[in-house]
Structure 1
Amino acid sequence: MIPRETGESCGRPVSAVELRYLDHEEDIRASYPLMRQLRPQLDSAQAFVQRWQHQRTQGYRLLALWNGGQPLGLAGFRVQDNLVHGRFVYVDDLVIDASCRSQGHGKRLIDALKAEAKVLGCCKLLLDAAMGNALGHRFYYRQGLLATALRFSMMLT
């Protein structure tokens, strides 16, 4: 279990804010409204559960920051290995509830991911950010992440 934090979050007192892995379908369902803020193409909790179940077979883990029974932030990641980076943690998803941003929750998730990456024998943390996500870019720079490449993609239909 990752350490708890006390204080105030999202404008209300908290008895315990904690980071923990989501390993059960009911937790995934409970976190669907938050993930939908980042991934609006997920049109139902069941679609999210199905994607999560499939991605777990590829090493995907979902770390959540909880205030009681309410998820405040999510970080989905997996360990990968390639010739460019060696062994690294790739962050697929990172979202903080819109009503709880700028309270240190994103930093806490990034710090937890960096620590987990080291435990897993990784020397890098990588993620993609949309070109138009200027606020996200600023946040990532403040966390010590640097833009080192552009990703190119195309739809194959």
Structure 2
Amino acid sequence: MDSLSFKHMESLEEIKSCFIIMKQLRSHLIDAETFGLQILHQRESSYHLLAAYKNEDIVGLAGYRYLENLLYGRFLYVDDLIVSSDARNLGLGEKIISFLREEAQSMSCAHLVLDTGMGNALAQRFYFRNDFLPKGIHFSQEI
């Protein structure tokens, strides 16, 4: 497999170039411009968008934040994690998780935390294989 490289997406143009991949995870997204502006807004709350490149192509994304609470202390929370549908089963997800783990350690985080859908069995299996353990059930209420 070709080598994988990582880049934090900073500019609006860089962020917009991630839209096609992110839409595979977040199908409700409308267009690249709106997506880019939303990510820039989320950056005000410490959101980072990491792109995984294989050669010149973006093949995966991770959106994450550094948070702190009474349960975990300081931790890295993964909001978004996606490997392009045409690049799955190549070990790329594991490499993205490994990169995030190193990021978390470098920022003195005690945990790497994420949520996944109750019905997303493939993602759950992936997280178990990568040493994540379920710690609770995430509840949500529309307001």
Q: Which TM class, normalised by the smaller chain length?
A: over 0.9
CA distance in 1, matches of 2:34, 2:131: 34
Aligned residue runs from structure 1 range 37-116, under 5 A: 37-116=24-103
C-alpha deviation, 1:69, in angstroms:
3.1
Q: Which has the higher strand share?
A: 1
Q: SS at the partner of 1:140?
A: helix
* Structure possessing the higher radius of gyration over alpha carbons: 1
Please list every run of 5 or more consecutive structure 2 residues that lacks an aligned counterpart in the other structure: none
Task: State the superposition RMSD in angstroms.
Answer: 1.0
Q: SS at the partner of 1:63?
A: strand
Percent identical across equivalent pairs?
38
What number of residue pairs does the alignment pair up?
143
Q: SS at the partner of 1:88?
A: strand
Report whether the alignment pairs 1:29 with 2:16.
Answer: yes
TM-score where L is the length of structure 2: 0.96
Q: SS at the partner of 1:114?
A: helix
Provide the residue aligned with 1:12 in structure 2.
none
Write the deviation string for residues 101-152 of structure 1: whole angstroms up to 9, x where unpaired: 0101000000000000000010100000000100000000000000110011
Question: What letter is aligned with 1:88?
Answer: F
Question: What letter is aligned with 1:49?
Answer: G
Question: What letter is aligned with 2:19?
Answer: Y
C-alpha deviation, 1:68, in angstroms:
3.4
Question: What letter is aligned with 2:26?
Answer: R
C-alpha deviation, 1:66, in angstroms:
0.9
Please list every run of 5 or more consecutive structure 1 residues that lacks an aligned counterpart in the other structure: 1-6, 9-15
Moved over 2 A (4+): none
Question: What letter is aligned with 1:22?
Answer: M
Question: What letter is aligned with 1:51?
Answer: Q
C-alpha deviation, 1:17, in angstroms:
2.9
8 A Cα contact 2:46 2:66, kept in partner: yes
CA distance in 2, matches of 1:51, 1:42: 10
TM-score where L is the length of structure 1: 0.88
